[in-house]
Amino acid sequence: MKFRHFPLAALLALSLTACNSSPTAEQVPGAATAAAPAATPATAAKRLLFFGNSLTAGYGVEPEQAFPALVGDKIDSLKLGYEVVNAGLSGETTAGGRSRVGWILRQPVDVFVLELGGNDGLRGLPLSATRANLQGIIDTVRRRSPGAQIVLAGMQIPPNLGQAYATDFKALYQEIATKNKLVLIPFLLEGVGGDRALNQPDGIHPTPTGHRIVARTVWAVLQPLLK
Instruction: Report the catalytic residues.
Output: 54, 202, 205
Give the integer Cα–Cα distance in Å for 95 and 100: 9
Question: What sign results for the dihedral spanned by CA atoms 35, 115, 42, 7?
Answer: positive
Write the DSSP symbol of residue 4: E
Give the integer Cα–Cα distance in Å for 204 and 28: 30
Give the integer Cα–Cα distance in Å for 120 and 94: 7
Region label for 202, one of left (φ > 0), alpha (ψ between -120 and 50) or beta (otherwise): alpha
Residue 143 has a CB neighbour count (10 Å cut-off) of 11
Residue 125 has a CB neighbour count (10 Å cut-off) of 17
Helix (H) and strand (E) counts in the chain = 8, 6
**What is the spatial order of strands in the sheet that 111-115 belongs to?**
3-5, 82-86, 46-52, 111-115, 149-153, 183-185
